[in-house]
Structure 1
């Protein structure tokens, strides 16, 4: 009798602790596979491998506009659609950066404003651009494949500094809210906190991930690092204290909400997303329905998220 009571109690505790399963609220289908998404207000910008960047109203899921790039030739001489590797939007929402595949393995950086798309940087600049973000109206932060950070001035088209962070290959970076600092990471698993204006390394966050970090987020003096070693690591600044979340698969994508009280990251081979309470370390929700490898997760607010993966579907989630 006593044994049965204990079993019932254990089952009830497990049931109570189990995260609530959430299905997608809505889906946006794009042309080609999504490489990256950025959200600015009610607009969603999707970079794709079909030579296009598409802009949607994510609430109505209506296509607002698109930018199409001309075909290029691959190494065999065949015509292909260029891959749009990255997209970013300035704070005003008026200018868009587009990092686009070029012939010979090169990349071109375009800036788009008032319906016009202009070439800003190409192979003549001798910068192996991996990721580019607006810092302010006249400055860009560029990460190279060899793990260099470059502060670039748009008006003069000059580099203000070039700082090599490590001997490893660059993976990802994320600016903080006021764009004064950046969390930059690489295949070593170390996350560097860098002063954007000077390029000076302020702090190294290490010990959590032992291998390549695929994705990093930086909000409210907290950094989330998502790694190849099946760990999502939450660092708190300035102390550098960390919380390690173990998963069942490589953690390709992750994000923090505005105050860093919640973490979202991929959990397993099914591409489920776990929503964790960072104070209790408990999984509150399991988001199921993503069919391909995740590449981007964005908190719109504490109850709404948007995610994309290596296919043509962008999923919109609403938490209970």
Structure 2
């Protein structure tokens, strides 16, 4: 009997330690189309969709402040279609919104929205297969190309500063660090490359942790998390060289995120669309976010205890973590 009580007590302690944070679903918002990317700046959420729009929402009031519509493109039959917005970002001064947009003949185009004006800055005729964009300064942006290349681009001069290969596979995703000096790049190889943005040179390769194609990456406070086809999320601390592997429940990890400190991580966990919140330092599971009705394609921490999950059904789930 004493052994049974002791076992029960240990189980209780384990459960309490594992699920130490209570998730609160603050709100569910709706946008027009599947969410392709989320960004956050100065109290506003910037949502890129697969139906030709970037929607801007004020986080505190949940008000829709702005809707930017992008030109339709011709598909292979000659029919006009709404374009997918592959990537979106906001300049550090908050004055420019940049977007990578689907174009005719399999092309990609880049638009800047500034002073209530939408301007095309890169045409599909430039034949740049851009998959991702990030502002480095208000006048320089970094593009990730599908051929595993990085392009640093000067907006005011309309000029490529460099175009460097970083791998030999098909590009999947990239994310810049807090001070915009380095970028983590992932691809079909499973490796994560850390690249110096100023030079475009690879300075570190994180190898043999993800064993197959990586879909998503985040980079915060000298820490990286990646999720891949091998059904696991990999956390790596660049400062210490230590890593942790978090496994999914027989489901590919399409989306991951880190909190600003990098001490909390989030990843898509199973085919019920649950998202696990983990302590990246101890490896503990601290919470599970449930109730999403479609694949969470984007996870974004606003701060240490608040995050947004964007799904393929056009819904945004705003969560708060409470102890």
Structure-1-length-normalised TM-score:
0.96
Aligned to 1:101: 102
Q: Is the 8 A contact 1:264 1:273 kept in 2?
A: yes
Q: Match of 2:13, SS?
A: helix
Moved more, 67-76 or 128-137: 67-76
Kept in 1, the 8 Å contact 2:223–2:237? The answer is yes
State the secondary structure of the residue aligned to 1:16: helix
2:161 match: 160
Match of 2:13 in 1: 13
Partner of 1:318 in structure 2?
320
Paired positions, count? 320
How far the C-alpha of 1:167 sits from its partner, in A, is 1.4
Unaligned runs of 5+ in 2: none
Equivalent-residue separation in structure 1 for 2:59 and 2:216 (angstroms):
23
CA distance in 2, matches of 1:124, 1:105: 11
SS in 2 for 1:319: strand
Distance apart, 1:215 and its partner CA: 0.9
1:18 Cα deviation from its structure 2 partner: 4.4
Check whether the contact 1:173–1:185 (CA below 8 A) recurs between aligned residues: yes
Deviation track 1:118-144 (CA, whole Å, cap 9, x = no partner) reads 001012222111111111122111111
Return the alpha-carbon distance in structure 2 between the equivalents of residues 147 and 236 of structure 1. 23
Paired position in structure 2 for 1:289: 291
**8 Å contact from structure 1 (residues 21, 287) kept in 2:** no
Instruction: Check conservation: 1:176, 1:182, Cα contact below 8 A.
Output: yes
Other-structure match for 1:147: 148
Equivalent position SS for 2:174: strand
**C-alpha separation in 1, matches of 2:216 and 2:67:** 26
Off by >4 Å, runs of 4+ in structure 1: none
Partners in 2 of 1:291 and 1:59 — Cα distance?
24
1 CA distance for matches of 2:48 and 2:258?
22
Shift of 1:88: 0.4
Summarize the alignment of residues 91-240 of structure 1 with structure 2, pairs less than 5 Å apart: 91-240=92-241
Larger CA deviation: 238-247 vs 15-24: 15-24
* Structure 1 unmatched runs, 5+: none
1:49-87: CA deviation from partner (whole Å, max 9, x where unpaired): 121111111221111111112322211222221111111
Contact 1:107 1:122 in 2 (8 A): yes
Report the TM-score when normalising by structure 2.
0.95
Question: Partner of 1:77: helix, strand, or coil?
Answer: coil
SS in structure 1 at match of 2:224? strand
- 8 Å contact 1:146–1:168 — kept in the other structure? yes
**SS in structure 2 at match of 1:25:** strand
